[in-house]
Each structure stands twice: as C-alpha cells, then as structure tokens.
Chain A
C-alpha cells in the first residue's frame, strides 16, 4: 500500500513537470523518461562507492546523499539546457519527435556505456534516506511514503507560486498566442527554455526519489512507457489542474498495480498483464472522447 502511494507521488511529480512544460508553456515533450534516467543515474553515480573488482563502472564519488539529490536535479536541468539550446525553437510535433529520439538515445547509451553506468547490471543496494532510524523495512516504507507526499506538496507549492508569478503568466500568454506575446516584447525562446529546464530539474529530483524507492538502478527501468504513463496521468486527470494530476496518477498507478496484485495461474497471468495495457489505453481513449479537458479541467485564469 505504501508502495502505491510512493509510485503515485513519483508519477505526480512527473505530471507536475509535464504540466509546467506543456500545460503552461505548450511544449510537447515525449522525452520525460530520458531526464528521469539522467536524474536517477546522476544520483547513483554521485553517491555510489568506488567500484569493486566485479564492477565495470569507473566513477563512484561516494558523496553525501544530499549532494546526490541536488545533483540529480541540476544535472538533469543542465542536459535539458543542452537539448533545449537547439530544440526549443522546433514547432510542436518536431520537438515531440526530437525529445522522443533523445530519450531513446539515452537509454541505449546507459545500456551500453558500461564504464559510466555498469551496463545492464546497473547499481544495486542503494542506501535510503533516514533508513537508520527505522528498525524494520516495513515501518520505513510508511515513512518513505510520507516523505514522498511531503515532496509532492513542496513541488505543488513552488509550482503554483511560479504559475501565478509574472513568469508563469507570460508562459501562459505564449501558450495562448505566441505572436501576440512576441509582439508584447517577450523573449519567447528564453521563457520556453526556463520552463523546459525547470521541468527537467523536477523530473531529475523525481529520479532520485525513484532510486530510493526501488533501491536499484538498471537501464530497463527507463523505457518509453514511463513517458506515456506520465502523459496519460496528466491527460486524464486534467492539464493545468494540480488535483487532476494527482487523480490521474492515482488512476493509472491503480490500474498498473491492481493487475499486478491479482494472483492467478500462469496462463491467466499473461492475460492479466496484457489487460493492464488494454485498461490504460481504454481509459485514455475514453477520457479524451468524453471529457477532453480531463476529469478535473483547468480553471480559466487566462482571460
């Protein structure tokens, strides 16, 4: 149960970041998982102990957890800056394809460049924050779920402040009418870049939280399904509505976990696993068809 709350929280963070990028700035980013992976690996490489004889990786800086956490957001943001430098000017679907391709390249790099990532073996047994204060793993789980809720609340607070600030209002103006915003003297590319970079920082932090939850990092965790699930959470919950994002994340994680918990015979297990995809697809299709603005739509703050 605590695990579900944690996953919900992590997908809510991804949805919050996507909302800043897409809901506020209108950027279509299909490379969420790329920044998520960069965040997760940055944390691990910064905090991992020096490599042992069986390890293929060369760098393990063994820095304190806190520095690893800050690093995961900063490094992810830095990569977003590098990607955004040429890509932020691309129109809608071109940006979508560029970021999608970027995330795939990242996955191939992290799978193959063993000197950096230890390849498919990845990193295991990652230390968790405040773990030493808890006797059993079970009680720690609940504490960690609480920590995640706290983190989501922090992101929520910061982002909603940001959205109401002049910066956020300019982004919305750009989303609604780019030419008018340009005519009003706004440097569109700079504002979009900031939204892109801040979004990446949040996704990077979410990467750290994910690493603590799974306590291992392997490349196969970072497949494009993560990106789609984040988008589905945002779309069904309601772009521009924070409560909607939490609801969307809850629904999608609920679907995923429900099919995992139901124990069944081997033959039925395949069908159950497959029905997870069908349920995810169906709910997305149905919500778009009948409630295109999501279950909890954005309140109109533009006019």
Chain B
C-alpha cells in the first residue's frame, strides 16, 4: 500500500506531461523541428493562470479558461511572427529560433513576475483515504480527469473532423497532403493553436498541483523531449504512452533512489532508449 501515493502522483505527473508532449509533437510532425520554446508556453500559461486566479481572484476553473485562451492566441502569434517567415531556412534554424524565443518569453515573464515562485489559490480539497493512507486529493483527481478528457477530445478531433484528418495527413506526408488540395497553411495554424492550448493547459495543471517558477520551462522541455523520444519522436499516440512512462517512473523512482535524482531518471531512460531503440518504444520514424 505504501507505493500507492507515489503511483497516484506519477499518474498526475504523467497526464500533465502527456498534454505538454502531445502539443510539442504536433508541431514536430507538422513543422519538423524541435520546438524548445514549448516549455515556455507551458510557463506562460501557468503564470497567466496565476494572474487570473490570484491577482484578480477568479475561480480556478474560470482562470484556467481565460489563461488557456490567451496563451493559445499568443502561441499562434509567435508562430506567425517568428517561425513562419524562416521556414524555408531549414529545421536547424527553426530549432535555434525557438531557443531565442524561449529566452525572450523567459525574460518577459521574469521581468513581469520576478523570480519568486508563485502558488495558486486552489480551495483545499478532500483527500480520499483508504485505511488511513491518503490516496488522492480532489485537485489531483480533477487534473487527471481533465487532462485525460482533453487528450480524448484531441483524439476525437483528429479522427472525426475533416480538419483533424487534414492535420494527420500533413503530419504523415506534407507534399502529398499539399497535392491533395489541403490548405496546408491553414492547417498549420490550427496545429499551432492546438499545440499552444494543450501546452497552456499542462502549465496551469502543474500550477494547480505544485508551484509556478520562472525556470519551469527549461525543466519541463527536457521532460517533454524525454517523453517524445520514448514514444518515437512525433508519433502522437506513442508520445502519450511515453509521457505516462516518464511520469510514473520518475515518481516511483523516489521509492528506491534519493528524490534529488527524480528528473535524472527520465534523462537516463532517454539515453537507454536511444541506445537500444532509437525509433522509440512504439516504432515511429526511427533512425
């Protein structure tokens, strides 16, 4: 029974990471570059959530909606201003531009909010106990349900709507999608909107569970990269499983390793996976 709290917190970490990683992979598939600034999109969402929730005193779910909405628009604007004009330069230039964008967002957030970590004001929720052992809090349960619900919503969108199918078509073969008459510019915009929205949600969820701090984007992008590699870079369903594995193994590792090694577990897994199965545990584009 002792391991159950670790399992639950692993599930929470995993589902939050899942949202962040799916958004990252969507961009990886459509634009074919590693968007290092995606971690900062999560941070931006988290800080905007703090503004609405604490500064303006809104209910957490209302703050969640408002912050997600704004971050989504900002994410799309960043795409229009920074990435779209240099697409023809190639994916390495896009990667380094995203590093530049990451520093810009990081700096702007730090200038506005300072370096002190922030906490949301989430109403204290009941904790479910079994035999006196605390299992899961209401907030944690809400985060898991909402995150999995959003992932399922994304799945429905990608499989049931024309736009969603177009995204998948573009992700698997850009030139063919173009030849079949898909408006690739429009679809790319939708992908960026989706990616930013999912990122913002992940950021706000982690704010609800823990604290919000300025270096969060750099910490989280490493976990996102790890989950993405584990699932096979860019394969949308593979990375969901990759994220769950990373989340669970990080939080369960605390049982046997010093907790200061928690994130290192994720990176060590990446190295092992890259050595033995570079195509990711679920296949994907591979070598």
Minimum CB–CB distance for B227 against chain A, Å:
11
B106 cross-chain contacts in A, Cβ below 8 A: 277, 281
Whether the Cβ atoms of B101 and A285 lie closer than 8 Å is: yes
A interface SS class: helix
Q: Counting CB contacts under 8 A, is A76 at the interface?
A: no
Tell me whether B225 and A277 are in contact (CB under 8 A). no
Rounded to whole angstroms, the CA-CA distance of A94 and B277 in the bound complex is 11
Contact B96 A284 (CB under 8 A): yes
Verify if B287 is at the interface (C-beta below 8 Å from A): yes
Q: Which of A268-297 contact B (CB under 8 A)?
A: 270-271, 273-285, 288-289, 292
Q: Which of A112, A231, A278 contacts B107 (CB 8 A)?
A: A278
Does B260 contact A104, Cβ atoms closer than 8 Å?
no
The verdict on A112 contacting B258 (CB below 8 Å), with A94-B274, A277-B104, A278-B104 known, is yes
Quick check: is B6 within 8 A (CB to CB) of the other chain?
A: no
Q: Give the chain B neighbours of A90 by CB distance below 8 A.
A: 274, 278, 287
Q: How far is the CB of A178 from chain B (nearest CB, A)?
A: 13
Least CB separation from A289: chain B residue: B86
- Say yes or no: B260 contacts A108, CB within 8 Å: yes
**Is A86 on the interface with B (CB-CB < 8 A)?**
yes
Interface: A195 (CB within 8 A): no
Q: Are the CB atoms of A284 and B107 closer together than 8 Å?
A: no
B17-25, B170-178, B237-245, B264-272 - the one binding chain A: B264-272
Interface range for B: 35 or more
**A28-B92 in contact given A108-B261, A270-B110, A278-B111 (Cβ < 8 Å):** yes
The answer to whether B110 touches A274, judged by C-beta atoms less than 8 angstroms apart, is: yes
Distance A112 CA – B110 CA, assembled complex (angstroms): 28
B93 at the interface (CB under 8 A from A): yes
Q: A87 contacts the other chain (Cβ, under 8 Å)?
A: yes
List the A side residues contacting B287 at CB < 8 Å: 90-91, 94
Check if A79 is an interface residue, CB within 8 A of chain B.
Answer: no
Residues of B95-130 whose CB lies within 8 A of A? 95-97, 99-111, 114-115
Q: Which residues of A contact B108 (CB under 8 A)?
A: 274, 278
A128 proximal to B (CB < 8 A)? no
B99-A101 in contact (CB<8A): no
Whether A281 pairs with B263 at a CB distance below 8 angstroms is no
How does the 8 Å CB contact mask read for B232-263 relative to A, with 1 for contact and 0 for none? 01000000000000000000000000101101
Chain A residues closer than 8 Å to B95, beta-carbon distance: 93, 96
Name B103's contact: one of A91, A97, A105, A277 (CB within 8 Å): A277
Distance in Å: Cβ of A86 to nearest Cβ of chain B: 5
A108 CA / B99 CA spacing, docked (Å) = 23
Contacts of B110 in A (CB 8 A): 270, 273-274, 277
Kindly state the separation between the CA atoms of A94 and B96 in the bound complex, as whole angstroms. 16
**Which of B233, B260, B270 is close to A93, meaning CB atoms less than 8 Å apart?**
B233
Q: Which residues does chain A contribute within 8 Å of B226, judged by CB atoms?
A: 97, 101
Q: B99, B111, B260, B274: which contacts A231 (Cβ < 8 A)?
A: B99
Within the complex, what minimum Cβ distance (angstroms) separates B74 from chain A? 15
CB-CB under 8 A from B86, the residues of chain A are: 288-289, 292
Q: Assess A288 versus B100: contact at CB under 8 Å? Given A90-B278, A94-B278, A274-B110.
A: yes
Give Cα A69–Cα B194 distance, bound, in whole angstroms. 51
| Interface residues, chain A, with chain B CB atoms under 8 Å away | 28, 86-87, 90-94, 96-98, 100-102, 104-105, 108-109, 111-112, 224, 228, 231-232, 235, 270-271, 273-285, 288-289, 292
List the 5 closest A-B pairs by CB distance, nearest first.
A281-B103, A277-B107, A278-B107, A284-B100, A281-B104
**Contacts A/B (CB < 8 Å), 20 sampled:** A93-B95, A94-B278, A97-B274, A105-B267, A105-B268, A108-B261, A112-B258, A228-B103, A232-B99, A232-B100, A270-B114, A270-B115, A277-B104, A278-B103, A278-B104, A280-B100, A281-B100, A281-B102, A284-B97, A288-B97
B interface residues, Cβ below 8 angstroms from A:
34, 82, 85-86, 89, 92-93, 95-97, 99-111, 114-115, 218, 222, 225-226, 229, 233, 258, 260-261, 263-264, 267-268, 270-271, 274-275, 278, 287
